[in-house]
């Protein structure tokens, strides 16, 4: 009798512990349920939808975010550069290429918990479509790093992992069911401080 009770308690403990760990892992993986990956960028197009999946709902609550509805805009997050290496604050990167059409867009750096990273300078730690210089072919060249750079510079500070957060407001992509076929800019590592 005691053996049966102990085995039952062990089975319940393993089930609850295993379920909890699997949910936490699913919430930490950027390419989780409901995500769309385009190059190094990942989006949750239905994060602000009324009938979103439970994992998107849990991610929003856990990160304390108020996600945009699909018709309001899309948020793309990059945790790795185009070569597949994790983004680090100690490194400098260039973001090259054209962005999808949007009425307005913003770009900022964030930590693993999606909180904005302070740059440590007077420079704002975000860029928007209203304050960048476009190249002659309407593409962008943005430098991301701690050291000042000419042109479009997104200041960072500190050390550790980093994410780039690109928010497209009022974009026609919201109605596109095949987001995986759009072109997104590349993130290229320029060098790191050792």
pLDDT digits (tens, 9 = 90+) for 26-49: 656 555 556 677 778 887 765 555
Asked if the structure places residue 22 within a domain, the reply is no
Confidence of residue 162 (pLDDT cuts 50, 70, 90): very high
CA angle 133, 139, 144 (to 5 degrees): 65
Q: What is the dihedral of CA 45, 40, 143, 192, to 10 degrees?
A: 140
On whether residue 157 sits in a domain, the answer given is yes
Q: Residues 183, 100: contact at Cβ < 8 Å?
A: yes
CATH number at residue 104: 2.60.120.600
Q: How does pLDDT run across 121-153, given as a tens digit for each residue? A: 656 678 988 889 888 888 899 999 888 888 899
pLDDT tens for 87-112 read 999 999 999 998 888 889 999 998 88
The whole-number pLDDT of residue 99 equals: 87
pLDDT exceeds cutoff 60 at 178: yes
**Mean pLDDT computed over every residue of the chain:** 79
Instruction: From residue 62, give the alpha-carbon distance in Å to each of 59, 69, 82, 114.
Output: 5, 18, 28, 10
pLDDT exceeds cutoff 80 at 63: no
For residue 68, CA distances in Å to 8, 30, 41, 46 come to 44, 18, 17, 9
In a domain, 153, yes or no: yes
Edge-to-edge strand list for the sheet holding 91-97: 152-155, 140-145, 91-97, 186-192
Burial code (b: 16+ CB inside 10 Å, e: under 16) for 2-24 equals: eeeeeeeeeeeeeeeeeeeeeee
* Number of domains present in the structure of the chain: 1
**Integer CA distances (angstroms), 166 to 65, 136, 144, in order:** 15, 22, 13
The predicted-structure confidence for 165-176, as pLDDT tens digits, reads as follows 998 888 877 666
Are 168 and 100 in contact, with CB atoms under 8 Å apart?
yes
Residue 145 lies in a domain: yes
Report the alpha-carbon distance of residue 52 to residue 148 in Å, rounded: 41
How far, rounded to the nearest angstrom, does the alpha carbon of residue 102 sit from its chain's CA centroid? Answer: 18
Give residue 46's pLDDT: 59
pLDDT over 90 percentage in the chain: 19
Residue 26 maps to a domain: no
In this structure, is residue 60 part of a structural domain? no
Residue 28 lies in a domain: no
Domain that residue 121 falls in: 35-54+67-192
**What pLDDT sits at residue 156?**
86
Residue 144 is predicted with a pLDDT of 92
């Amino acid at each position: 009798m005691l053996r049966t009770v102990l085995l039952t308690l062990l089975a319940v403990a393993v089930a609850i512990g295993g379920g909890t760990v699997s949910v936490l892992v699913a919430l930490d993986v950027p390419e989780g349920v409901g995500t769309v990956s385009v190059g190094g960028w990942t989006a949750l197009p239905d994060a602000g939808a009324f009938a979103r999946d439970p994992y998107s709902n849990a991610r929003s609550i856990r990160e304390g975010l108020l996600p945009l509805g699909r018709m309001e805009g899309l948020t793309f997050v990059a945790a790795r550069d185009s070569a597949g290496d994790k983004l680090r604050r100690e490194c400098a990167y260039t973001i090259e290429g054209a962005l999808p059409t949007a009425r307005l867009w913003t770009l900022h750096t964030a930590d693993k918990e999606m909180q904005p990273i302070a740059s440590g300078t007077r420079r704002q730690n975000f860029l928007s479509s209203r304050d960048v210089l476009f190249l002659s072919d309407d593409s962008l060249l943005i430098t991301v790093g701690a050291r000042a750079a000419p042109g479009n510079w997104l200041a960072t500070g500190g050390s550790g992992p980093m994410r780039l957060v690109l928010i497209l407001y009022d974009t026609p992509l919201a109605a596109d069911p095949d987001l995986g076929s759009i072109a997104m800019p590349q993130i290229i590592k320029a060098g790191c401080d050792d």
